């Protein structure tokens, strides 16, 4: 098995960031999160880049979430606050890319994968792509205000609630109908669709793209509420410890949540 890693390549005016951890459905390790952040910053700093794509390796997943083995070392709610702050730092690097960003989703996009897809300007998926954030049925953790604002703004609050509060996994056709997905394409047509959209986006005036993206980012992702006490309560709870234990044991039974 290859070492989990992020690939960053540039072809002309298009940069490609790929998630390479297929044996774990492209779950992101802590280092992969940091490498993704650095790749996004590198793309943002290159004035010749007009489009940035994000894609998973292996054909079974975009990103299936975070490698949660590190959660077993959490001892208090402060660990949860620090974790969410690290994720927010990495995700802000995506939010601040001035070029057009495109998520290419083939398979699962859940947890962190949903977050990354929501950060992109456009999403193209295969018909069997599936999206969700069923943390209330698996780990019993929570999301930061920045993550909730990003996902809710991109996918709509009602569907975001179905994903988090009911643990639903939503399939590509429904998300095409609600506008979250720009296109749904069969695997053999996916690359052609991506190339066409990249070419069209690259023709746009870069200052127009940058200005619109930055104004939208300020409107939707700034001046968010402080919620450290909420995050701390959840990550410091017995329920969270129970959820992590059950997840690591690979049981498919929903833990017995006790609300404390």
Pairing of strands 61-63, 108-110: parallel
How much is the average pLDDT of 46-72? 95
| Structure confidence at residue 49 (pLDDT) | 98
d(CA 8, CA 124): 19
Contact (Cβ atoms closer than 8 angstroms) between residue 47 and residue 72: no
How much is the average pLDDT of 210-228? 97
| Structure confidence at residue 19 (pLDDT) | 98
Report the DSSP beta bridge partners of residue 123. 103
Contact (Cβ atoms closer than 8 angstroms) between residue 4 and residue 21: yes
Q: What is the DSSP letter of 161?
A: H
pLDDT tens digits for 226-235? 999 999 999 9
Q: Confidence band (pLDDT; 50, 70, 90) for 1?
A: low
Residue bearing tokens 């975070």:
66
| Structure confidence at residue 94 (pLDDT) | 98
d(CA 194, CA 14): 11
| Structure confidence at residue 47 (pLDDT) | 97
Query: What mean pLDDT is reported for the chain?
Result: 96
Instruction: Determine whether 220 is exposed, middle or buried from the number of CB atoms within 10 Å of its CB (0-12, 13-18, 19+).
Output: middle
DSSP 52-117: EEEEESSSSEEE--B-GGGGGG--SHHHHHHHHHHHHHHHHHHHT--SEEEEEE-SEEETHHHHHH
Share of the chain above pLDDT 90, in %: 95
| Structure confidence at residue 146 (pLDDT) | 98
State the maximum Cα–Cα separation within the chain, in Å, rounded to a whole number.
54
pLDDT tens digits for 20-33? 999 999 999 999 99
Q: Please, where are the H alpha helices in the chain?
A: 30-45, 77-95, 112-119, 145-155, 157-165, 172-177, 187-202, 206-221, 228-235, 238-248
Q: Confidence band (pLDDT; 50, 70, 90) for 111?
A: very high
| Structure confidence at residue 253 (pLDDT) | 82
| Structure confidence at residue 254 (pLDDT) | 85
Among the residue ranges 28-32, 34-38, 67-71, 115-119, the one predicted with the least confidence is 67-71
CATH class of 5-188: alpha beta
Instruction: Give the Cα-Cα-Cα angle 77, 82, 88 (nearest 5 degrees).
Output: 125
pLDDT greater than 90 at residue 135: yes
How much is the average pLDDT of 203-228? 97
d(CA 1, CA 9): 22
pTM recorded for the entire structure: 0.97
d(CA 130, CA 152): 17
pLDDT tens digits for 160-205? 999 999 999 999 999 999 999 999 999 999 999 999 999 999 999 9
Q: Which helix (H) or strand (E) holds 127?
A: none
Contact (Cβ atoms closer than 8 angstroms) between residue 129 and residue 71: no
């Amino acid at each position: 098995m290859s070492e989990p890693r992020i690939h960053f390549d540039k072809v002309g005016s298009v940069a490609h960031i790929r998630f390479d951890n297929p044996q774990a459905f492209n779950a992101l390790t802590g280092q992969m999160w940091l490498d993704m952040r650095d790749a996004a910053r590198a793309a943002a700093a290159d004035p010749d880049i007009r489009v940035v794509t994000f894609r998973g390796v292996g054909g079974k997943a975009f990103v299936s979430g975070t490698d949660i083995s590190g959660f077993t070392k959490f001892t208090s709610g402060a660990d949860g606050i620090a974790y969410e702050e690290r994720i927010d730092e990495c995700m802000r690097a995506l939010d601040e890319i001035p070029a057009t960003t495109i998520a290419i989703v083939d398979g699962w996009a859940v947890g962190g994968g949903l977050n990354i897809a929501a950060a992109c300007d456009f999403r193209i998926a295969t018909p069997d792509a599936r999206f969700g954030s069923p943390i209330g049925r698996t780990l019993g953790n929570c999301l930061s205000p920045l993550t909730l604002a990003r996902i809710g703004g991109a996918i709509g609050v009602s569907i975001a609630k179905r994903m988090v509060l009911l643990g639903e996994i939503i399939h590509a056709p429904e998300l095409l109908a609600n506008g979250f997905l720009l296109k749904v394409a069969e695997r053999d047509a996916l690359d052609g669709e991506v190339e066409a959209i990249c070419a069209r986006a690259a023709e746009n005036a870069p200052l127009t793209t940058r200005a619109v993206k930055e104004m939208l980012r300020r409107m939707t992702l700034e001046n968010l509420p402080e919620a450290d006490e909420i995050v701390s309560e959840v990550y410091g709870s017995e329920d969270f410890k129970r959820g992590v234990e059950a997840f690591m044991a690979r049981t498919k039974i929903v833990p017995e949540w006790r609300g404390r």
